[in-house]
């Protein structure tokens, strides 16, 4: 479905606005498909993200702040996500030997088994989602999106101050 049809636009906005809208709609479409897969395994997309980070991290685990820094969806409350994963027996906290104020989060054998079981379905989902593009096209689009993301991140730093709202 075209952007104009999906959003019921009487006329198309500028190319840049079209691109931003397409990115937002695409993200939502991908997330909806992913959520169905993760829910079938008893996880939210954010919980899967935490498990993915921990499984790929050091054996000694990651402190919460490091997990938070690596999150794709950064609006999540990582401490609460870890709490829920811990209740399910998928992760555990270990006190840091060097700094007693810090605990590190490690994946449990149960969590590792779950993630191992999910590897094939996640790969199959990825293949289905990107099936409309060749491998070369996927890599080219990923490269362009990385450039766009880097450019956006620079805008956060380089952007002149936004006028403050006046209080009444």
Structural domains of the chain ordered from first start: 13-156 (1.10.10.10)
**With 60 as the cut, is the pLDDT of residue 88 above it?**
yes
Name the more confident of 95 and 98.
95
* pLDDT tens digits for range 99-153: 778 889 999 999 999 999 999 999 999 999 999 999 999 999 999 999 999 998 8
Distances (CA, A) of 72 to 17, 137, 160: 23, 23, 26
Whole-structure pTM value = 0.82
Q: Report the pLDDT value the prediction gives residue 128, as an integer from 0 to 100.
A: 95
Distances (CA, A) of 100 to 43, 60, 83, 91: 30, 14, 19, 19
């Amino acid at each position: 479905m075209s952007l104009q049809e999906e959003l019921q636009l009487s006329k198309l906005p500028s190319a840049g606005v079209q691109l931003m809208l397409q990115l937002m709609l695409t993200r939502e479409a991908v997330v909806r498909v992913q959520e169905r897969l993760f829910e079938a395994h008893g996880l939210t997309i954010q919980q899967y993200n935490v498990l993915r980070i921990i499984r790929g991290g050091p054996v000694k685990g990651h402190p919460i702040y490091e997990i938070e820094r690596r999150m794709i969806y950064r609006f999540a409350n990582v401490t609460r996500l870890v709490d829920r994963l811990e209740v399910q027996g998928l992760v555990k906290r270990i006190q840091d030997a060097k700094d007693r104020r810090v605990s590190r989060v490690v994946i449990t054998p149960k969590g590792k088994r779950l993630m191992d079981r999910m590897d094939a379905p996640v790969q199959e989902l990825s293949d289905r989602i990107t099936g409309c593009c060749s491998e070369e096209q996927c890599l080219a689009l990923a490269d362009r999106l990385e450039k766009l993301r880097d450019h956006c991140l620079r805008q956060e730093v380089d952007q002149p101050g936004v006028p403050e709202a006046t209080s009444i």
